Amino acid sequence: NAGVTQTPKFQVLKTGQSMTLQCAQDMNHEYMSWYRQDPGMGLRLIHYSVGAGITDQGEVPNGYNVSRSTTEDFPLRLLSAAPSQTSVYFCASRPLMGELFFGEGSRLTVL
Amino acid sequence: AQSVSQHNHHVILSEAASLELGCNYSYGGTVNLFWYVQYPGQHLQLLLKYFSGDPLVKGIKGFEAEFIKSKFSFNLRKPSVQWSDTAEYFCAVNRNNNDMRFGAGTRLTVKP
């Protein structure tokens, strides 16, 4: 059982480049979300989705886009990377009533 | 703004000492409460959760937490910590089945 799978695990970008962090879950969870983790700030919610075709903004959505075309996938797009987006990104999913299951994380560095 | 507050940023204990980490939230209404642990270099893992019922919740590895509704608190406790408990601990709150918000985390260092 793979759970929540994120790719890539590591990425280095130059300012202004775009990229997509992939997230897939095989648990048939309705809810999926993206967090960023920065030292001393805990996890901050970027975007979330309660089902296919439905997305909503979290605490820090600026500079990021998401889509949810299937139940399984929830990619996070950085449109024009900035150094402030250097962070560790976690994808997580859960059933509508339940706890979050996290991916392994993606470490992004923007130069 | 509604939030989740963890008052201790870094706690240092000796092995066998007792642990209590504070967590307060500012959301009204019905909430679901969680504690997660993150070991160095790893992703977050669930320690315990509270949805309803007995406000004293027992989790894995000897951890427990008490929900006190009147104080909007969900403090984490362990009677006797071990070196292997060294990690970062996050409190999280889910309200109305929507997004889940996390506290800033408490780093626990247990000295052997």
- Predicted local distance difference test score (pLDDT) of residue B54: 95
Greater pLDDT, B41 or A24: A24
A102 and chain B in contact, CB less than 8 A: yes
Q: A19 touching B, CB under 8 A?
A: no
pLDDT in tens, B15-31: 999 999 999 999 878 88
Among residues A76, A34, A32, the alpha carbon closest in space to that of A51 is found at A32
User: Any CB–CB contact under 8 A between A3 and chain B?
Assistant: no
CB B57 within 8 A of CB B65: yes
Does the CB of A96 have a partner CB in chain B at under 8 Å? yes
Compare CB distances from B103 to A42, A58, A105 and report the shortest one's residue. A42
Q: Is the pLDDT of residue A49 over 80?
A: yes
The pLDDT assigned to B97 comes to: 63
pLDDT at position A1: 64
Burial of A101 (0-12, 13-18, 19+ CB in 10 A): buried
- Position A52 scores a pLDDT of 94
Task: Identify from B100, B101, B106, B107 which residue to disrupt to test chain A contact, counting A C-beta atoms within 10 A and taking the largest count.
Answer: B100
Q: How far is A61 from chain B (nearest CA, A)?
A: 13
Give the span between the Cα atoms of A82 and A36, in whole angstroms: 14
- Among A13, A7, A26, A29, residue whose Cα is nearest residue A75: A7
Put simply, whether A39 touches B (Cβ < 8 Å) is: no
* pLDDT > 90 in chain A, percent: 89
pLDDT tier, A110 (very low <50, low <70, confident <90, very high otherwise): very high
Q: What is the 3-state secondary structure (H, E, C) of chain A?
A: CCCEEEECCEEEECCCCCEEEEEEECCCCCEEEEEEEECCCEEEEEEEEEECCEEEECCCCCCEEECCCCCCECCEEECCCCHHHCEEEEEEEECCCCCCEECCCEEEEEC
pLDDT for residue B63: 97
| pLDDT for A108 | 97
Following DSSP, what letter does each residue of chain B receive, concatenated?
A: ---EE---SEEEEETT--EEE--EE---S-EEEEEEEE-TTS--EEEEEE-SS-SEEE-GGG-EEEEEGGGTEEEEEESS--GGG-EEEEEEEEETTS-EEE---EEEEEE-
Q: What is the pLDDT of residues B99-110, one digit of tens each?
A: 789 999 999 999
Lowest-pLDDT range of A40-44, A64-68, A98-102, B96-100: B96-100
User: For an interface test with B, which of A23, A31, A35, A43 has the most B Cβ atoms less than 10 Å from its Cβ?
Assistant: A43
CA B44 to chain centre: 12
Spell out which residues of chain B touch residue A59, defining contact as CB-CB under 8 Å: 101
Which tens digits make up the pLDDT trace of A6-20?
A: 999 999 999 999 999
Mean pLDDT per 10-residue segment, chain B (112 residues):
84 97 90 94 92 94 95 97 96 82 94 92
